[in-house]
Amino acid sequence: MTLYAMRAVCMFLLLPLVVACSSTPADPTTTMTYDQQFNFAAVHKIYIEPTSRTDAATIQISDAQITNIDSALADELGRKGFQMVKSSRQADLFLSWYLVTEDLVKARSSDCKGCDMAVDGGARYARGTLIVDMVDPMRNQAVWRSILKTELAGDPGTARAEQARLEAAAAIFARFPPP
């Protein structure tokens, strides 16, 4: 086999790898379920429930991350015409969310000062599943749920991470309110 033929074969074998590594990640996708009997047309005001700090999953998320996620979700709902209220008494729906993290990766404490504390001796989570519920305050039951499986921003505290949060929020609420 000539040198030219060997190069051609190597290039043919490496081309799919190069294409896969250089392609941009897919847009965030979600799964969504909802109560078809609930009147979503009557919903105008939404209250974001405070995040519980008592279970293991939320203890692993920093206060800054909670604030960033709350802000991204509230901003997207505001863009869709909903009013975010400060009191649960004023709300037509309560919003609650949960971030299930997985896949620890190495991290330095200098990666993001004050916004992403490393856990487990210098590690940070790389993937997560964000579950957003809309809860009917009268029945205290979820009437809408969206689930987003995503890569977590590798560089928290940056404009890129903020853009990723906004895109995730847009994907989560792409089909809210349901028809």
Which pLDDT tens digit goes with each residue over 45-63? 999 999 877 776 666 777 8
d(CA 133, CA 8): 53
DSSP 35: -
Which pLDDT tens digit goes with each residue over 81-135? 999 999 999 999 999 999 887 755 445 444 444 444 444 445 555 578 899 999 9
pLDDT confidence of residue 105 = 47
d(CA 144, CA 32): 7
Q: Where are the domains of the chain?
A: 28-172
pTM of the model: 0.72
Which pLDDT tens digit goes with each residue over 80-89? 999 999 999 9
For domain 28-172, which CATH number applies: 3.30.70, 3.40.50, 3.10.350, 3.30.160? Answer: 3.30.160
For residue 151, which amino acid is it? E
Strands 141-151 and 123-136: antiparallel
- Find residue 168's DSSP bridge partners: none
d(CA 46, CA 49): 9
